[in-house]
């Protein structure tokens, strides 16, 4: 279990030395509401709603959003830029806490723009900190660190010492996620030195605890965690009291102090259930199962893991789609706006033709008068068309920006080619989505000293394909991590069942065709064997200039039609063991390249040309140039035609 990441979030004038994380004060909230009922001025109405939202923000974000929107609507009505900025910052925090990162980022960016428009450097730099928090969650730690560092310097210039200290804390935390422990220690020391000079209350004790855990200094880690729990409890931060308590229980489990670990778990679950901290409840159940296992109480351990699976499945139905679903809705909305703008332009053009025709007719009677009228009419229409073209460009930019965010999210699930090269140095991946985001993706993991590698081709491409790729990646990870399956054919079968259950394909005919094709293999370099299984995607082995193809089962994963065909089979997939020689090449691929239309007769590239391309790769001395060769061949064949489908080709020289 990994401790929930703590970041200092800046709201209003409150810098989270945890003073913004006060527990809900119902009597205070009730007092604010009574004042609102009396009827107040616009400025007081906005302030009271913001104050109520502030009381709710970390313990009841939905209630906070209601009152924030009340404040925002009134602030917009009277053009109070400062309060509009505060409201957008609040909405950013609320959506951030709910996991809607892109919506959160939009509100933060609006808040920052509003603060800058009134030269409020203090407000703008607080929002910059929050923007960096979003980039951290998106896995862009380097970008986040750069923003934190710029915010630190601005806060120093403005003499905002608490905010500056929070920036240092967040930088240390980002380096902790990057596992750059030397940098973490450096920034912890910088924060401690800064605290001595500036008398701030930002305490890095929980980050120090994580460093001590890495260094196996568990007693020191417990001291730091106790201090962190006490700080959070004093400030009313029940979320981190629970999170830190679970981390304490985990450390006690490492120390084999099972009695105290169980006591902490039993005390923490009450607070978790009171606040509906479902993510922490998952951590609790998994940790409790581990504890029961260590105690030899296997029945209780199994029961805890069963509860864990039930809760995790229910949460995944929301979490798997959380970030991309908001993108898809945004994409569709903005696409519709862009289409309407184009329609308006077309109507204007047709209207122009009708009017010009009419003018020509009238010109037979009064040429001079109509000429003047036509001149000004055309000038006005050209101005209108120019405005509409500019609007189309803006809408298109918004749509592309949204999909680019989706690309960043999808890129975060793709493993780094450098990790594959560390295991098999002469490797390449030719990956070319048809649109900005892709339905194809690659996956590899090192498990038990074997390399598991897969090429996955999901239904569709673009945004729908990206949806399926996120689901497929999540379920593939679950299959190997939680079900601990290692045989390729067993992985495929379980993945097939997971997709059907996730998409409710037995009950929802609209999703009955959605699924994926996949080739997966486990490479044992010690024994020079490949264990392979495929669903509609084969494997090709290159040896001494020749290609050996291993056929896949002609079945896709997912889809109720296939499920009915396989009703009488326990597992239709099989694992084939392949003995390879040092210097052989392994190729995994989707169908995008050989299905590409092009050439002089606009035909498919086809499998024969695809195999010839692979033979050319075998002849190359430097595998690093293989992707460039594939791109050159693809572009020459495609010519000026559009790309037909997502393209992926994985090649590696086996040792």
Domain boundary among 343, 375, 407: 407
Q: Which stretch of DSSP H or E encloses residue 614? A: helix 606-619
**Block residue for tokens 């001025």:** 41
d(CA 251, CA 271): 20
- pLDDT of 510 > 60? The answer is no
d(CA 490, CA 152): 52
Contact by Cβ (8 Å): 511, 533 = no
**By C-alpha distance, which of 164, 94, 159, 99 is closest to 126?**
164
Q: How confident is the model at residue 13 (pLDDT cuts 50, 70, 90)?
A: very low
Residue pLDDT, tens place only, 576-626: 999 999 999 999 999 999 999 999 889 999 999 999 999 999 998 777 789
**Do 229 and 370 belong to one domain?**
no
- pLDDT of 278 > 70? The answer is yes
Map residue 544 onto helix, strand or coil.
Answer: coil
Contact by Cβ (8 Å): 426, 653 = yes
**Do 454 and 328 belong to one domain?**
no
**Do 525 and 440 belong to one domain?**
yes
Cα 463 to Cα 41, 96, 433, 437, 470: the distances in Å are 46, 22, 11, 6, 11
Tokens of 297: 């109480």
Angle at 512 between CA 506 and CA 518, to 5 degrees: 110
**Do 236 and 332 belong to one domain?**
no
> Average model confidence (pLDDT) for the chain?
80
Q: Locate the DSSP E strands across 295-449.
A: 427-432, 440-447
Q: Show the DSSP H helices in 11-58 as ranges.
A: 26-38, 42-56
Residue numbers of the domain that contains 472? 414-653
Residue pLDDT, tens place only, 172-200: 888 888 889 999 999 888 888 877 777 66
CA dihedral 72, 78, 80, 85 (to 10 degrees): 20
**Do 127 and 81 belong to one domain?**
yes
d(CA 564, CA 506): 10
The burial class, CB within 10 Å (0-12 / 13-18 / 19+), for 196 is: exposed
**Do 578 and 459 belong to one domain?**
yes
CATH code of the domain containing 530: 3.60.40.10
> Which range, of 138-152, 209-223, 328-342, averages the lowest pLDDT?
328-342
**Do 349 and 298 belong to one domain?**
no
**Do 541 and 582 belong to one domain?**
yes
**Block residue for tokens 């709710």:** 56
Average pLDDT over residues 71-93: 93
So what's the pLDDT on residue 353? 57
**Do 197 and 208 belong to one domain?**
no
**Do 436 and 474 belong to one domain?**
yes
Tokens of 614: 């692979």
- pLDDT of 102 > 70? The answer is yes
- pLDDT of 457 > 50? The answer is yes
Cα 513 to Cα 452, 505, 536, 562: the distances in Å are 27, 8, 15, 9
CA dihedral 219, 225, 227, 233 (to 10 degrees): -150
> What is the distance of C-alpha 158 from the center of its chain?
34
**Do 478 and 504 belong to one domain?**
yes
d(CA 335, CA 206): 45
Total number of domains in the chain:
4
Residue pLDDT, tens place only, 213-253: 999 999 999 999 999 898 888 877 777 888 899 999 999 99
Domain boundary among 171, 202, 233: 202
Q: Which residues pair with 522 in a beta bridge?
A: 452, 531
Higher-pLDDT residue of 301, 50: 50
Look up the pTM and report it.
0.46
Tokens of 92: 């950013």
Burial pattern 263-301, b for ≥16 Cβ within 10 A else e, equals ebbeebbeebeebebebbbbbbbbbbbbbbeeeeeeeeb
**Do 168 and 191 belong to one domain?**
yes
Maximum pairwise Cα distance, the chain: 104
The burial class, CB within 10 Å (0-12 / 13-18 / 19+), for 354 is: exposed
Residue pLDDT, tens place only, 199-214: 666 788 888 998 999 9
d(CA 652, CA 655): 9
> Which range, of 261-265, 318-322, 483-487, 514-518, averages the lowest pLDDT?
318-322
Residue pLDDT, tens place only, 378-437: 555 556 556 665 665 666 555 566 566 666 766 777 888 777 887 888 999 999 988 878
Domain boundary among 372, 407, 442: 407
Q: How confident is the model at residue 21 (pLDDT cuts 50, 70, 90)?
A: very low
Contact by Cβ (8 Å): 403, 327 = yes
So what's the pLDDT on residue 65? 87
β-pairing, 603-604 with 597-598?
A: antiparallel
CATH code of the domain containing 311: 1.25.40.10
**Orientation angle between helical segments 258-275 and 238-254, nearest 10 degrees:** 160
**Block residue for tokens 């929107």:** 69
């Amino acid at each position: 279990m990994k401790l929930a990441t703590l970041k200092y979030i800046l709201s209003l004038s409150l810098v989270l030395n945890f003073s913004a994380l006060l527990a809900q004060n119902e009597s205070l909230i009730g007092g604010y509401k009574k004042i609102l009922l009396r009827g107040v001025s616009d400025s007081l109405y906005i302030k009271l709603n913001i104050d109520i939202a502030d009381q709710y923000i970390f313990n009841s974000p939905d209630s906070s959003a209601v009152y924030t929107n009340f404040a925002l609507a009134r602030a917009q009505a009277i053009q109070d830029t400062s309060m509009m900025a505060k409201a957008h910052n609040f909405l950013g925090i609320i959506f951030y806490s709910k996991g809607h990162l892109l919506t959160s980022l939009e509100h933060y960016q609006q808040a920052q723009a509003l603060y800058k428009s009134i030269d409020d450097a203090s407000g703008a730099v607080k929002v910059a900190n929050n923007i960096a928090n979003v980039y951290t969650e998106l896995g862009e730690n380097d970008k986040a660190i750069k923003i934190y560092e710029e915010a630190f310097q601005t806060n120093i210039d403005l003499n905002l010492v608490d905010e500056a200290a929070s920036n240092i804390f967040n930088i240390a935390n980002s380096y902790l996620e990057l596992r750059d422990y030397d940098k973490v220690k450096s920034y912890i020391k910088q924060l401690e030195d800064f605290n001595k000079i500036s008398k701030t209350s930002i305490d890095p004790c929980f980050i120090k605890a994580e460093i001590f855990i890495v260094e196996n200094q568990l007693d020191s880690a417990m001291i730091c965690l106790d201090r962190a729990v006490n700080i959070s409890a004093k400030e009313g931060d029940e979320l981190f009291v629970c999170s830190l308590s679970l981390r304490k229980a985990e450390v006690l489990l490492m120390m084999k102090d099972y009695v105290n670990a169980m006591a902490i778990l039993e005390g923490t679950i009450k607070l978790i259930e009171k606040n509906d901290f479902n993510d922490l409840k998952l951590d609790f159940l998994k940790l409790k199962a581990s504890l029961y296992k260590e105690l030899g109480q296997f029945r209780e351990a199994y029961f805890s893991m069963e509860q864990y699976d039930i809760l995790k499945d229910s949460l995944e139905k929301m979490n798997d789609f959380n970030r991309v679903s908001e993108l898809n809705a945004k994409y569709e909305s903005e696409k519709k706006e862009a289409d309407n703008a184009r329609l308006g332009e077309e109507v204007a053009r047709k209207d122009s033709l009708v009017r010009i025709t009419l003018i020509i007719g009238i010109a037979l009677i009064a040429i001079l008068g109509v000429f003047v009228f036509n001149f000004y009419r055309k000038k006005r229409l050209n101005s209108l068309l120019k405005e509409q073209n500019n609007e189309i460009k803006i809408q298109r930019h918004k749509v592309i920006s949204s999909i680019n965010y989706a690309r960043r999210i999808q890129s975060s699930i793709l493993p780094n080619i450098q990790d594959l090269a560390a295991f098999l140095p002469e490797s390449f991946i030719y990956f070319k989505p048809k649109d900005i985001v892709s339905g194809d993706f690659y996956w590899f993991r090192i498990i038990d000293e074997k390399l598991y590698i897969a090429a996955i081709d999901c239904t569709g491409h673009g945004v729908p394909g990206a949806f399926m790729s996120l689901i497929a990646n999540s379920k593939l990870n679950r299959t190997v991590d939680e079900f601990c399956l290692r045989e390729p054919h067993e992985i495929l079968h379980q993945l097939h069942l997971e997709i059907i259950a996730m998409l409710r394909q037995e009950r929802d005919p609209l999703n009955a065709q959605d699924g994926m094709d996949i080739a997966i293999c486990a490479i044992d370099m010690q024994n020079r064997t490949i264990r392979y299984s495929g669903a509609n995607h084969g494997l090709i082995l290159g040896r001494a200039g020749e290609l050996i193809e291993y056929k896949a089962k002609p079945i896709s994963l997912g889809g109720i039609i296939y499920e009915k065909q396989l009703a009488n089979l326990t597992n239709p997939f099989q694992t084939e063991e392949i003995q390879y020689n040092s210097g052989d090449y392994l190729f995994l691929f989707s169908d995008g390249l050989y299905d590409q239309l092009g050439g002089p007769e606009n035909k498919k590239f086809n499998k024969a040309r695809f195999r010839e391309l692979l033979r050319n790769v075998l002849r190359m001395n430097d595998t690093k140039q293989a992707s460039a060769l594939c791109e050159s061949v693809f572009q020459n064949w495609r010519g000026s035609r559009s790309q037909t489908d997502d393209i992926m080709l994985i090649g590696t020289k086996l040792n």
